[in-house]
Structure 1
Amino acid sequence: MTTAQDIMTRQTITVLADDSVSRVGEVLMSSGHHSLPVVDSEGRLIGMIGERDLIDAHRKVHLPTIVTILDGLIPIGGMREYDAELRKVTAVTARQLASSRVVTAVPGEDTDAVAEKLLRRDVHAVPVVDDHGLLLGIVSRSDILRHLLKP
């Protein structure tokens, strides 16, 4: 059985939680990757930042539709989306911009299970972490393809 640690990229390009959003953009663009892990000073995974997060950070915020009834303001849907947009456009650091609900893998996890996570969650890469959240590497779609297509 081939596992995540067998195919993961160990020399992972990361950004620090306190890096500026502009620094994150520079690293992402120069790396050629679609997403990057965000780590703290000890190398523990904090979250992931992808191209979409950076695009969202530079978009205009769309205000939710509000209805006034008896001098009360009632939002009509979209409040959750508004909160998420507002969080991203006001982010100053990688920690603030990063998605903290990250799909991860453990070193001994079967590559088929990791591939399933990549496809089901529509992500480009899955960080591989130990029991303490320390980033050990990353498995990308390219890593899975290399494994599947090798002779």
Structure 2
Amino acid sequence: MKTAQDIMTREAITVLADDSVQKVGELLLSSGHHSLPVVDGDGHLVGMIGERDLIDAHRKVHLPTMLTILDGLIPLGGMHEYEEELRKVTAVTAGQLATARVISVAPEEDVDAVAEKLLRKDVHAVPVVDSSGLLLGIISRSDILRHLLKP
């Protein structure tokens, strides 16, 4: 049975957490990837950043509806969404914009389980990390397809 480390791309294109959002956008466009791992200076995974994050960073922030009671403002739902929108539009580095809660896989994980994660979570790629969070590689949907079509 094949594992994640058997099919992963070992030399993943990455961005550093301190890289500018502009640089990330340029790298995404030039690489043809939908998302990229964000790493710290030691190569540990910090998050993932993708096309959707960059598009969100350039959208207008929608203020939540507020209710005034006794001179106090009470937000009517959507505060978490508002805070997330605000975080993205104010981000200037990859680390600030990246999604920190990343679906990742271990190198010994079965390829079928990796494929299931990609499809179930509707992501284009998953980073392969060791137990300390060091990025070892990345597996995209294309890597899974290549594996399935290999004789």
TM-score interval (norm. to shorter):
over 0.9
The residue that corresponds to 2:125 in the other structure is 125
Letter matched to residue 86 of structure 1: L
The residue that corresponds to 1:150 in the other structure is 150
Q: Does 1:48 align with 2:39?
A: no
TM-score for the superposition, normalised by structure 2: 0.98
Mapped to 2, the partners of 1:68 and 1:16 lie a distance apart of: 43
CA shift, 1:123, in A, is: 0.5
The residue that corresponds to 2:69 in the other structure is 69
CA shift, 1:132, in A, is: 1.2
Unpaired runs of 5+ residues, structure 1, are none
Letter matched to residue 33 of structure 1: H
Mapped to 2, the partners of 1:2 and 1:12 lie a distance apart of: 20
Mapped to 1, the partners of 2:150 and 2:63 lie a distance apart of: 50
Unpaired runs of 5+ residues, structure 2, are none
TM-score for the superposition, normalised by structure 1: 0.98
Mapped to 2, the partners of 1:139 and 1:90 lie a distance apart of: 30
Mapping for residues 2-151 of structure 1, pairs under 5 Å:
2-151=2-151
Mapped to 1, the partners of 2:58 and 2:78 lie a distance apart of: 19
CA shift, 1:131, in A, is: 1.2
Cα deviations by residue, 1:1-22 (Å, 9 ceiling, x for unpaired) = 1000010011100000000000
CA shift, 1:71, in A, is: 1.4
Partner secondary structure for residue 19 of structure 2: coil
CA shift, 1:77, in A, is: 0.6
Mapped to 1, the partners of 2:135 and 2:14 lie a distance apart of: 10
Mapped to 2, the partners of 1:128 and 1:55 lie a distance apart of: 25
Question: Considering only aligned residues, what root-mean-square deviation do their CA atoms show, in Å?
Answer: 0.6
Mapped to 2, the partners of 1:70 and 1:57 lie a distance apart of: 35
Mapped to 1, the partners of 2:44 and 2:28 lie a distance apart of: 19
Runs of 4+ in 1 over 6 A off after TM superposition: none
Tell which deviates more after alignment, 85-94 or 62-71: 62-71
CA shift, 1:69, in A, is: 1.6
